[in-house]
């Protein structure tokens, strides 16, 4: 499949009736000409008619991960069927919570193209929190939303036949591939993943700890085989756009039925990573760094409390039997374990770094950040039973990563 040029995109949109033949186009290749995307997989274009001000985003799905091609020159095959997964999941999420995802105007499966709402009035959350911007209600809103998604697609709520139909409808081979990348091939286990050399002894110790290997194997097995609910599976702050009043979830192409902890864990990892990253930015004023570290911990606490409250509320509303508290506790405990494993994916000394890690200027500071994230993961996986409340975990992060005590 040949990547589209800007001229190709404009011609395509006129042919499909999205724009009129006389449109005065202004087209931007978002991945090549802007710095508003991270960890990209597909080609993305923003197209605007300068006369009518109408604008859309065009996404061309490719049979490989574009970021990997640019970083290594190698094409790692991806199923084109993930476009179907993305469209179906976006439609379902919009029914569950109207407006939580962008509108889709056209889906052309044969061409691997879909046309969607232009979200350029919103900002990518990872970039914003890296720049020191706070969104006070984010944790509460997302925790409640994820509880609803988990509950309404779970065997606790669905009949066996309904769940079987939903699992088949959202079946995705790419979600299982993502599982290997995020668990059994993560830097905690795969010592070939590059990190700064002084962290080698710590990495060896973690990779050879049987209890840690057992926990990661448990998370991987739960991801692939539990089919507890429909999950986004790649829900981090680079797949969320927002402003003070609006929030959109993006890039659902890896969605599928998996473990209930997946989305809570993946999202929590973004705030663990942001929290630790401020240790490596001494050039930023101390007041900003401490404020954002406090914000990150507040979001983590809000996420978990809101999830717990909403899940139990829905359980009671629908009169379900069984131990709701135990169900939620198991989800949230595994979410913390998975969060620390997931955070290690973005700290390696290569193209996989997230923007809060890329901004670290000194190699020694990068090594320090890597060590802290690895230590957080090690301790969490070995001593999870010590965290009785989410505040206990936030206190742990504060103790080992707070700038003022380093």
Structural domain boundaries of the chain?
6-117, 123-405
User: What span, in angstroms and rounded, lies between the C-alpha atoms of 265 and 137?
Assistant: 19
**Do the beta carbons of residue 73 and residue 61 sit within 8 Å?**
no
Q: Which CATH class name applies to 123-405?
A: alpha beta
Give the 3-state secondary structure of residue 25. Answer: strand
Torsion of CA 375, 380, 383, 384, to 10 degrees: 170
User: What span, in angstroms and rounded, lies between the C-alpha atoms of 63 and 80?
Assistant: 6
pLDDT at 39: 59
Give the 3-state secondary structure of residue 209. Answer: coil
Give strand pairing partners of 184.
none
- pTM tops 0.85, yes or no: yes
Ramachandran category for residue 227: left, alpha or beta (phi over 0 → left; psi -120 to 50 → alpha): left
Phi/psi of residue 176, each to 5°? Answer: -70, -35
Instruction: Give burial (CB, 10 Å; 0-12/13-18/19+) of 40.
Output: middle
**Do the beta carbons of residue 83 and residue 61 sit within 8 Å?**
yes
Q: b/e string for 164-181 if b means 16 or more Cβ within 10 A? A: eebeeebebebbbbbbee
Please list the helix, strand and coil fractions of the chain in percent, rounded to the nearest 5, in that order: 55, 10, 35
Helix or strand (DSSP H, E) at 83? helix 82-96
User: What span, in angstroms and rounded, lies between the C-alpha atoms of 301 and 394?
Assistant: 7
In the Cβ-directed half-sphere of 261, how many Cα atoms lie within 13 Å? 28
Q: How many residues are there in the chain? A: 406
Mean pLDDT, the chain, whole residue set: 92
pLDDT at 72: 62
pLDDT at 179: 78
User: What span, in angstroms and rounded, lies between the C-alpha atoms of 30 and 350?
Assistant: 22
Between helix 363-382 and helix 262-277 the angle, nearest 10°, is 140
Give the 3-state secondary structure of residue 350. Answer: coil
Phi/psi of residue 342, each to 5°? Answer: -65, -35
Phi/psi of residue 240, each to 5°? Answer: -130, 130
pLDDT at 77: 64
Give the 3-state secondary structure of residue 26. Answer: strand
First to last CA, the chain: 51
Asked if the 6-117 domain carries CATH number 3.30.200.20, the reply is yes
- Return per-residue pLDDT of the chain as tens, 406 residues: 788 999 999 999 999 999 999 999 999 998 887 665 565 678 999 999 999 999 999 999 987 665 555 656 665 666 778 899 999 999 999 999 999 999 999 999 999 999 999 999 999 999 999 999 999 999 999 999 999 999 999 999 999 999 999 999 998 877 777 777 778 789 999 999 999 999 999 999 999 999 999 999 999 999 888 889 999 999 999 999 999 999 999 999 999 999 999 999 999 999 999 999 999 999 999 999 999 999 999 999 999 999 999 999 999 999 999 999 999 999 999 999 999 999 999 999 998 899 999 999 999 999 999 999 999 999 999 999 999 999 999 999 999 987 776 5
Torsion of CA 278, 281, 285, 289, to 10 degrees: 0
Give strand pairing partners of 55.
48
User: What span, in angstroms and rounded, lies between the C-alpha atoms of 247 and 340?
Assistant: 25
């Amino acid at each position: 499949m040949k990547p589209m040029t800007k001229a190709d995109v404009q011609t395509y949109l006129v042919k499909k009736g999205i724009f009129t033949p006389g449109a005065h186009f202004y087209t931007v290749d978002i991945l090549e000409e802007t710095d508003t995307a991270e960890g990209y997989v597909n080609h993305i274009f923003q197209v605007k008619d300068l006369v009518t001000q109408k604008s859309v985003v065009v996404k061309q799905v490719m049979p490989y991960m574009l970021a990997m091609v640019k970083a290594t020159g190698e094409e790692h095959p991806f199923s084109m069927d993930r476009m179907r997964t993305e469209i179906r999941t976006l439609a379902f999420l919009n029914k569950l919570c109207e407006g939580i995802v962008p509108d889709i105007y056209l889906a052309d499966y044969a061409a691997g193209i879909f046309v969607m709402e232009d979200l350029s009035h919103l900002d990518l959350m990872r970039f914003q929190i890296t720049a020191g911007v706070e969104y006070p209600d984010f944790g509460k809103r997302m925790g409640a939303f994820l509880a609803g998604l988990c509950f309404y697609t779970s065997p606790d709520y669905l009949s066996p036949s309904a769940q079987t139909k939903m699992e088949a409808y959202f079946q995705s081979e790419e979600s299982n591939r993502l599982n290997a990348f995020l668990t059994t091939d993560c830097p905690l286990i795969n010592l070939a993943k590059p990190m700064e050399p002084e962290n080698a002894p710590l990495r060896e110790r973690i990779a050879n700890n049987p209890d840690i290997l057992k926990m990661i194997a448990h998370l991987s097995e739960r991801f692939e085989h539990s089919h507890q609910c429909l999950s986004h599976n790649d829900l981090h702050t680079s797949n969320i756009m927002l402003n003070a009043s609006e929030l959109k979830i993006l890039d659902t192409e890896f969605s599928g039925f998996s473990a209930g902890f997946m989305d809570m864990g993946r999202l929590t990892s973004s705030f663990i990573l942001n929290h630790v990253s401020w240790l490596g930015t001494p050039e930023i004023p101390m007041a900003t760094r401490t404020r954002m570290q406090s914000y990150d911990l507040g979001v983590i606490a809000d996420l978990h409390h809101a999830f717990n409250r909403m899940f139990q509320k829905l359980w009671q509303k629908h009169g379900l039997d069984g131990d709701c508290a135990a169900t939620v506790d198991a989800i949230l405990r595994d979410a913390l374990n998975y969060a620390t494993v997931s955070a290690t994916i973005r700290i390696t000394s290569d193209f996989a770094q997230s923007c809060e890690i890329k901004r670290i200027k000194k190699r020694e500071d990068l090594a320090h950040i890597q060590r802290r994230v690895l230590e957080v993961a090690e301790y969490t996986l070995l001593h999870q039973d010590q965290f009785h409340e989410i505040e206990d975990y936030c206190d742990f992060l504060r103790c080992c990563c707070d700038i003022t005590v380093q």
